[in-house]
C-alpha cells in the first residue's frame, strides 16, 4: 500500500541532498533534482523493508511540521 512521507531537499554547490525526517538516517544525494528524487525514493523503500511492521507504523505515524519564519539579521 502506498504511503506518503516527508522529504527535505537542499541544494548547494555540489548538487542536491535529501533526507526523510520520519526515518532517521535515511538520506541520499544527487547531481540533479530528478536524480535526488529517484535516489531518496529508493532509499526510503529500502529503509522501510528493514523495519518490522510495528517499527514501520511507528515511524510513518510521526507528525512532521514545516514552516517558514521571517528572521531579523543584525
pLDDT tens-digit map of 8-59? 999 999 999 999 999 999 999 999 999 999 999 999 999 999 999 999 999 9
Q: Which helix (H) or strand (E) holds 23?
A: none
Distances (CA, A) of 33 to 28, 30, 66: 12, 7, 20
Domains contained in the chain, CATH given: 8-60 (3.30.160.250)
Strand order in the sheet with 15-19: 8-12, 15-19, 27-30
pLDDT at residue 18, as a whole number: 97
Q: Which bin fits 6, alpha (ψ -120 to 50), beta or left (φ > 0)? A: beta
Strand partners for 16: 11, 30
pLDDT at residue 17, as a whole number: 98
Amino acid at each position: 500500500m502506498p504511503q506518503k512521507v516527508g522529504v527535505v531537499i537542499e541544494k548547494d554547490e555540489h548538487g542536491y541532498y535529501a533526507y526523510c525526517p520520519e526515518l532517521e538516517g535515511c538520506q541520499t544525494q544527487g547531481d540533479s533534482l530528478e536524480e535526488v528524487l529517484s535516489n531518496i525514493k529508493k532509499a526510503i523503500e529500502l529503509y522501510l523493508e528493514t523495519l518490522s511492521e510495528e517499527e514501520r507504523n511507528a515511524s510513518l505515524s510521526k507528525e512532521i511540521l514545516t514552516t517558514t519564519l521571517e528572521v531579523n539579521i543584525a
